[in-house]
Amino acid sequence: MSHDLFEAARGALAFAHAPYSGFPVGAAIRAEDGRIYAGANIENISFPQGWCAEPTAISQMIMGGAKRIVEIAVIAEKLPLCPPCGGCRQKIAEFATAATPVYLCDETGVKKTFTMAELLPCAFQTELAR
């Protein structure tokens, strides 16, 4: 994984709005256009309305005009390894392939790499998927 993708994920931590959990998360996507799209978790006083760092990064990617996740890095301030939650795995899968690497990072760099197939085996698929 390139250093700039890691730096983008780590840099996103500073933008987290996580006053309720105190658990900032950063994510960064390299998309098929070669650009990097970063995001942080954004919580809400009405707790179920908050969302994770990964969908923030996906939103940035989509609004930047890109459609495919080439690689994605995730980092949490307070956890050495922060695997995407179940819902985020499905959201990432929408724009990734089974082989897309997911880098789990700490503040020093990548600690573990999974493919999407490893994180979301037997993913829901229909003929509607493009």
Q: Is 84 exposed, middle or buried (CB count within 10 Å of its CB: 0-12, 13-18, 19+)?
A: buried
Is residue 93 a contact residue for ligand THU (CB under 6 A)? no
Backbone φ, ψ for residue 87 (5° rounding): -65, -40
Cα angle vertex 22, ends 19, 28, to 5°?
95
Catalytic member of 32, 43, 54, 118: 54
Nearer to ligand THU, 44 or 97 (CB): 44
Is residue 88 a contact residue for ligand THU (CB under 6 A)? yes
Contacting ligand THU (CB under 6 A), which of 2, 21, 90, 97? 21
Residue 54 falls in the annotated catalytic set: yes
**Which residue numbers are catalytic?**
54
